[in-house]
Structure 1
Amino acid sequence: MEHVIEVEVEQPACTTRHAWARVPDEPSPAERQALKARIAELLRARDAVLVAHYYVHPDLQDLAEATGGLVSDSLEMARFGRDHPARTLVVAGVRFMGETAKILSPDKTVLMPDLDATCSLDIGCPPDDFAAFRAEHPDRTVVVYANTSAAVKAQADWVVTSSCALDIVGALRDAGHRILWAPDKHLGGYIQRETGADMVLWRGSCVVHDEFKAFELEALRREYPEAKVLVHPESPAAVVAQADVVGSTSQILQAAANLPARVFIVATDSGLMHQLRQRHPDKLFLEAPTAGNGATCKSCAHCPWMAMNGLRGVLEVLETGLNEIHVAPELIPRARLPIERMLAFTAARKRGEPPGALVPGLGAV
């Protein structure tokens, strides 16, 4: 197995206090119904479509599905928006998702309920610092996670999601590539362990997944010995080691449908529980425990920036056109290239074709 180099990188402090303070109040049942009706009306009038991440409020997930939009992960949201005929995309999620949608749909208007809704992985990987990190390792192929800014994606050779990272890094390893990875240290470590790739890791983490704790998970498993454990690979290695299935949000949803079990312990953002419980009302889904009062960041297994998205915010941007996402025009083609490379790779794999020339050095075998 090749070695992994872990590099400590000075990162800005990540506080969630401001984000939690910006979480909108829950509307009353009557206001909720009125908001949904008005938003649906404006989506039609503005030639707009709502795309929502699995981690946002159930109201937004339900509304996206009810109005012909989509609930999915970040790349599927962007790809859906690119292929949809609507001229305006309303992205309920965090800022890098809006940027990715704009990168793939530069001629469309992309709006977000709150432009301050961001991601600890994104803000923990500043573009200038990342450029300096790359300069220290000029011989490595740069692979970045989707949870990064457009300016970081523009510096990458490949963009990956948690559902395709293993396949892509494995193919790069087979072709003799040495990898520079950013920003999530847990996902990067998982990929390195599984593929044996030679990797240098940026030391970022997700404030939600980083708080899952192995000791508390072991205790919950003893309480529910029949439970299957589903873990997102942004979680610490000791939590991943206890998983029956390690995978992305969509892979966790698939496992819940396919595994012959009635009880599941789920280690990812609690926003996914809405889809899991909605799709499988006969099954019991338990949130994996976090560090509770001992947490370094009060996550409660839910992203505070995702929680900033609400019905009132969606209505406001549809009424006013505020909170439009802009990406510097010179960044768009550079950031789109590694995304399109990933999409071509995953499409080839889905068709059962070898990646061939998509991975330099791998050849057609």
Structure 2
Amino acid sequence: MLSDKDIADKVLVREHLAHLNVTPVLSVEEIEAYKTKITALLKEKNACLVAHYYTDPVLQSLAEETGGCVADSLEMARFGSNHPASMLVVAGVRFMGETAKILNPEKRVLMPTLEATCSLDIGCPEQEFSQFCDQYPERKVVVYANTSAAVKARADWVVTSSCALDIVEHLMDQGESLIWGPDRHLGRYIERETGADMLMWNGSCIVHEEFKAKGISELKAVYPDAAILVHPESPEAMVELADVVGSTSQLIKAACDMPNETFIVATDKGIFYKMQQLAPTKRFIEAPTGGNGATCRSCALCPWMAMNGLQSLLAVLETEDQEIFVDDGLRDKALVPLRRMLDFTSSQRLALAGNA
């Protein structure tokens, strides 16, 4: 049974989506013409294109071809900080652009559209979340990267799905109890895996929440040798069926490393571009979303990610009018938990390299 807040959140998201325009289909010739113009402008403006795994495959390939980056949100943040370009063009959703600006105040950060947001961000307003946190001052506040700069500024730590388990375990070792926001499914997964004492904000991703265990089970019966790959933003029943639960980068690695020839993938289907690129002989099947409670037959596509297209990318490079700004005071506060995350994951990398 959905709570009043769940229903209100879904209505809010649906209303927000109602006016959005998804990128139209282009011919091969049009695609090449756009790519040529965009490549020239990226070079002319000393700009770097950073794209998320969930964006259109054409944008992902263009980012690679022009010396940019295709990655999850953690690696996008790290790449943007280390790249010498004076301008970052972030193909993704708004919180990714904000994160890039927080970490790189000296660089201009543009996005193909500033309307591309996230249901987790929408469902976690800063004022309400702060009031929730204020009730438990003894707890450390850990927020998922899919949040606004203002919510990050209220947090002690920022995490992504690729580093959340390790950071929560680190905080447990220090004897901390936590407030977690905003994705309740990812939070419950971390709670089960670590045993951490966590109070949850009640948010969810409109893409991952639509995957249904019944549909996965039926598909598994058709492909009994297939491995099931599930993002931890998915409901618990989905996680229980998974062979691998992980972030986008972790699921891609699993697809490459596992011996299975077929994979049922429960996350945004934009990830198939990188999976097929790195494991071209394997088969990847979109996990079904139909069934009891689903609002569509196949929801494995973020509508906001789909707003990133070649036309909007070219337009922003020509006009430079879709720029991300973050207030200096807010930036200083949000930088603290972001820097903690990046420093923590960097130290982990060094430790792994030393043990190799």
Q: TM-score, normalised by structure 1?
A: 0.92
What is the distance in 1 between the residues matched to 2:291 and 2:35?
34
Which residue matches 2:62?
63
2:180 is paired with a residue of what secondary structure?
Answer: strand
Which sections of structure 2, spanning at least 5 residues, go unmatched? Answer: none
Which sections of structure 1, spanning at least 5 residues, go unmatched? Answer: 1-6, 354-365
2:171 paired with 1:176:
no
Residue 17 (structure 1) shift = 6.7
Contact 2:144 2:181 in 1 (8 A): yes
| AA partner of residue 226 (structure 1) | D
What is the distance in 2 between the residues matched to 1:20 and 1:29?
28
Residue 186 (structure 1) shift = 0.2
Residue 75 (structure 1) shift = 2.2
Q: Which moved more, 1:251-260 or 1:74-83?
A: 74-83
| AA partner of residue 23 (structure 2) | P
The structure-2 alpha-carbon separation of the partners of 1:22 and 1:299, relative to structure 1 and needing over 3 Å to count, comes to farther
1:228-239 map, 5 Å: 228-239=227-238
Residue 31 (structure 1) shift = 1.1
Contact 2:214 2:291 in 1 (8 A): no
1:99 is paired with a residue of what secondary structure?
Answer: helix
What is the distance in 2 between the residues matched to 1:44 and 1:153?
33
Which residue matches 1:153?
152
Which residue matches 2:186?
187
Which residue matches 2:280?
281
2:47 paired with 1:48:
yes
1:89-238 map, 5 Å: 89-238=88-237
2:32 is paired with a residue of what secondary structure?
Answer: helix
Q: Which moved more, 1:14-23 or 1:99-108?
A: 14-23
Contact 2:230 2:242 in 1 (8 A): yes
| AA partner of residue 178 (structure 1) | S
Residues 321-344 of structure 1: CA deviation (Å, up to 9, x unaligned): 110001111111111110111111
The structure-2 alpha-carbon separation of the partners of 1:309 and 1:142, relative to structure 1 and needing over 3 Å to count, comes to same
| AA partner of residue 41 (structure 1) | A
The structure-2 alpha-carbon separation of the partners of 1:33 and 1:19, relative to structure 1 and needing over 3 Å to count, comes to farther
Residue 18 (structure 1) shift = 3.2
| AA partner of residue 270 (structure 1) | K
Residues 211-231 of structure 1: CA deviation (Å, up to 9, x unaligned): 010111111111111011111
Which residue matches 1:335?
334
2:71 paired with 1:72:
yes
What is the distance in 1 between the residues matched to 2:235 and 2:341?
25
Q: TM-score, normalised by structure 2?
A: 0.94
1:26 is paired with a residue of what secondary structure?
Answer: coil
Contact 1:114 1:323 in 2 (8 A): yes
The count of aligned residue pairs is: 347
2:343 paired with 1:348:
no
Contact 2:266 2:286 in 1 (8 A): yes
What is the distance in 1 between the residues matched to 2:150 and 2:246?
27
What is the distance in 2 between the residues matched to 1:300 and 1:200?
29
Question: Cα RMSD over matched residues?
Answer: 1.8
Residue 291 (structure 1) shift = 2.6
Residue 294 (structure 1) shift = 4.9
1:144 is paired with a residue of what secondary structure?
Answer: strand
Contact 1:20 1:308 in 2 (8 A): no
Q: Which moved more, 1:99-108 or 1:286-295?
A: 286-295
What is the distance in 2 between the residues matched to 1:237 and 1:256?
21
What is the distance in 2 between the residues matched to 1:31 and 1:102?
31
1:241 is paired with a residue of what secondary structure?
Answer: helix
